[in-house]
Amino acid sequence: MFDLNVKGPITVVGHDISDVDSVASCLLLKKYLEHFGFEAQIAMFSEPMNGTFKMLSKMGVPFSVGVTKPNGDEQLFLVDHHETAYDLKVVGCIDHHPTETEYDYPVYINRKASSTAFMILGMMEADGVPLEASDHAAAVLSVYCDTQSLKSTKLVKTDVPKVQEIIQKYRLDGKYLYEAGLGLNDLSQPLEALALNGLKVFDFPKGTVMSSYLQADRYEDGFVSELINELKMQRTKNSAAMWVLLLHDPVHGNTVEYDITDEVKVIDHGALISRGSNVMPRIEKLFT
């Protein structure tokens, strides 16, 4: 167990517009903290990504929590992100998006992993925390969703045998895991909603960078043009120095990146890449 000297309740929180990994990480860390005698609670300060609770429920992990506003005295433990836009005390962080910047939190764990929840699961196993089938299911689902069904460069290949072992041991639905992990977006949704899918905000020393992504097996040229125009407006509206759009194609294994400033730089990666592992470290250097 990491060294944590905190009195009073700890609020475990994932990033805004939480995805499966953020929520699964919250569930596992809360259990981890409580096992060692800490008082812990989960909070969500924004609506989760559409379908997140449904996917967890499908895997036997029923969970739902309402959105609340911070009351000002929370002690935050961040999971699946390492910065917060809220003016609150941060007592810890567990993430899998290593950065050049070091953060002076009492507990700071940020290393490459297939998912944050899978990392926390390993920490719990190492520390002898009793685990249930639902804990393993949540962690495995987070791996599939965060690596586009084990196709992304974010995948730590040494995690695969453990993932497969859990699937077999607990008889998890492999077909559903694969389909959920691909996470293909319905491109008929309103353009503004699509433009903000997977939104993350990065406050670097030389400017704020915002980023979103979509996952589909085909993008029409007209749709991409309209999407970029929408994001140009969103960038201006939010006074961001850059907006990074990633169009993932997990079916054919490719990602096209659009770096939107006053101009638009297009990078065809020729592989299915990870925002946290492959893109943002490069962007961070530009704005640090």
Domain locations in the chain as residue ranges: 10-182, 191-286
Average pLDDT, the chain: 95
Region 44-48: mean pLDDT is 92
Q: How confident is the model at residue 242 (pLDDT cuts 50, 70, 90)?
A: very high
Q: Give me the CATH topology for the region 191-286.
A: Diaminopimelate Epimerase; Chain A, domain 1 (3.10.310)
Q: What is the pLDDT of residues 104-119, one digit of tens each?
A: 999 999 999 999 999 9
Cβ atoms of 129 and 115 within 8 Å: the answer is no
Query: What b/e string do you get for 126-153 counting C-beta neighbours within 10 Å, with b at 16 or more?
Result: eeebeeeebbbbbbbbbbbbbbbbbbbe
Cβ atoms of 47 and 17 within 8 Å: the answer is yes
Query: What b/e string do you get for 71-95 counting C-beta neighbours within 10 Å, with b at 16 or more?
Result: eeebbbbbbbbbbbeeebebbbbbb
Is residue 219 scored above 90 in pLDDT?
A: yes
Nearest 5°: phi and psi at 78?
-80, 135
Query: What percent of the chain has a predicted confidence (pLDDT) above 70?
Result: 100
Q: Write the CB contacts of 119 (distance below 8 Å, at least 6 apart in sequence).
A: 94, 96, 109, 111, 113
Tokens read off for 72: 């000002």
- Class of the 10-182 domain? alpha beta
pLDDT of residue 105: 95
Residues 58-62: contacts with CB under 8 Å, at least 24 apart:
58/173, 58/176, 58/180, 59/134, 59/137, 59/138, 59/140, 59/141, 59/172, 59/173, 59/176, 59/177, 60/133, 60/134, 60/137, 61/24, 61/27, 61/134, 61/137, 61/138, 61/141
Alpha helices in the chain (DSSP H): 20-35, 52-58, 116-126, 133-146, 160-169, 174-182, 191-195, 221-237, 280-286
Region 1-22: mean pLDDT is 93
Is residue 100 scored above 90 in pLDDT?
A: no
Q: How many residues does the chain have?
A: 288
Alpha helices in 187-262 (DSSP H): 191-195, 221-237
Q: What is the pLDDT of residues 156-211, one digit of tens each?
A: 999 999 999 999 999 999 999 999 999 999 999 999 999 999 899 999 999 999 99
Helix, strand, or coil here: 86?
coil
Cβ atoms of 217 and 252 within 8 Å: the answer is yes
Region 32-41: mean pLDDT is 96
User: Could you give the count of Cα atoms lying within 13 Å of 37 in the half-sphere of its Cβ?
Assistant: 6
